[in-house]
């Protein structure tokens, strides 16, 4: 996988990516990373890459030509038109399935905007994918590009020590990962669940699967709807729903009783 990042802050990308697992993968050649400074393609003597927006309004806009020239330098070198991801809150929301799909590309170009954005005309000419990393506003596309490259990297064969973990962690099958424990056996008075010490692999797998489903039920019910469960497992979830509804009803009637009592004491005073 070859990442090419078009940015005004190349050192931010390099510092972020040359660390930990992605750093090791770059060192071993499984990934390559080039952060291309758009400012190097400014066509005026002041290296200026931004200007005021036509029609007025706040802030500066990145101009089309430097962005285009920076992109073209990549296209010329690799010899074909790669996918170009523009990081923008107006894009499709990034998702594990997108990471998996993008990991199959030979080259990926990330275009990072800053200021108030980029001249629309160059976006129309070079961008193939508009991607957002969630519904909040950031100051630029560099962090989102790094978020995407991190998750894409771990889907590239060989990048993780244990490739199985790329598939079994949270979101595989739309379930969250089960809880995990390491030594010591007792910490702050909390004991590791007995089943994990039992050495019974069948029971361990069963427990982990149930924990995954239960966590997803409690923390991300929206994900659970899309999860691939057996009929027996869906029945278990229905039991939990019934139980939690009953617990809620019990709480409600307790509250109502308490309020009734308050009213009674108020009336008697």
Q: Is there binding between residue 89 and ligand 6GU (CB under 6 A)?
A: yes
Pick 134 or 179: Cβ nearer ligand 6GU: 134
Residues 128-147 that bind ligand 6GU (CB under 6 A): 132-134, 136-138, 140-141, 144
Stretch that binds ligand 6GU, among 81-89, 150-158, 184-192, 204-212 (CB under 6 A): 81-89
Pick 132 or 211: Cβ nearer ligand 6GU: 132
Pick 88 or 153: Cβ nearer ligand 6GU: 88
Q: Is there binding between residue 117 and ligand 6GU (CB under 6 A)?
A: no
**CB of residue 115 to ligand 6GU, shortest distance in Å:** 10
Q: Is there binding between residue 186 and ligand 6GU (CB under 6 A)?
A: no
Q: Which of 142, 148, 218, 144 is nearest to 179 (CA)?
A: 218
CA 230 – CA 91 distance, rounded (Å): 35
What are the φ/ψ torsions at residue 184 (nearest 5 degrees)?
-85, 170
Instruction: Please give the C-alpha separations between residue 249 and each of 168, 235, 242, 256, 258, in angstroms, as whole numbers.
Output: 37, 21, 10, 10, 14
CA 51 – CA 139 distance, rounded (Å): 17
Q: Coil, strand, or helix at residue 94?
A: coil
**CB of residue 16 to ligand 6GU, shortest distance in Å:** 15
CA 85 – CA 123 distance, rounded (Å): 10
Q: What share of the chain is helix, strand, coil (3-state, %, to 5)?
A: 50, 15, 35
Residues 143-182 that bind ligand 6GU (CB under 6 A): 144
Q: Is there binding between residue 95 and ligand 6GU (CB under 6 A)?
A: no
C-beta atoms surrounding 161 within 10 Å: 9
**CB of residue 266 to ligand 6GU, shortest distance in Å:** 51
Q: Is there binding between residue 58 and ligand 6GU (CB under 6 A)?
A: no
> Which positions touch ligand 6GU (CB under 6 A)?
87-89, 132-134, 136-138, 140-141, 144
């Amino acid at each position: 996988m070859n990442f090419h990042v078009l940015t005004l802050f190349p050192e931010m990308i390099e510092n972020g990516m040359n660390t930990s697992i992605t750093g090791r993968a770059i060192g071993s050649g499984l990934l390559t990373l080039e952060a291309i400074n758009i400012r190097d393609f400014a066509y005026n003597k002041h290296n200026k890459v931004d200007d005021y927006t036509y029609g007025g309004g706040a802030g500066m806009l990145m101009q089309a030509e430097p962005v285009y020239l920076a992109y073209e330098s990549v296209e010329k070198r690799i010899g074909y038109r790669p996918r170009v991801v523009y990081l923008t809150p107006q894009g499709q929301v990034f998702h594990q399935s997108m990471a998996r799909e993008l990991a199959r590309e030979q080259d990926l170009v990330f275009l990072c905007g800053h200021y108030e954005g980029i001249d629309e005309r160059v976006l129309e000419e070079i961008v193939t994918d508009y991607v957002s990393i969630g519904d909040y506003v950031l100051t630029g596309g560099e962090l989102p590009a790094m978020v995407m490259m991190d998750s894409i990297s771990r889907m590239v064969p060989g990048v993780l020590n244990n490739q199985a973990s790329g598939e079994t962690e949270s979101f595989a099958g739309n379930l969250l990962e089960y809880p995990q424990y390491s030594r010591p056996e007792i910490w702050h008075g909390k004991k590791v669940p007995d089943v994990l010490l039992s050495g019974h692999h069948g029971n361990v797998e069963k427990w982990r699967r149930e924990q995954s489903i239960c966590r997803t039920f409690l923390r991300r019910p929206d994900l659970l709807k899309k999860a691939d469960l057996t009929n027996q497992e869906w029945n278990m979830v229905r039991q939990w729903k019934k139980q939690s509804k009953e617990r809620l009803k019990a709480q409600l009637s307790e509250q109502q009783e308490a309020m009734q009592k308050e009213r009674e004491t108020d009336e008697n005073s």
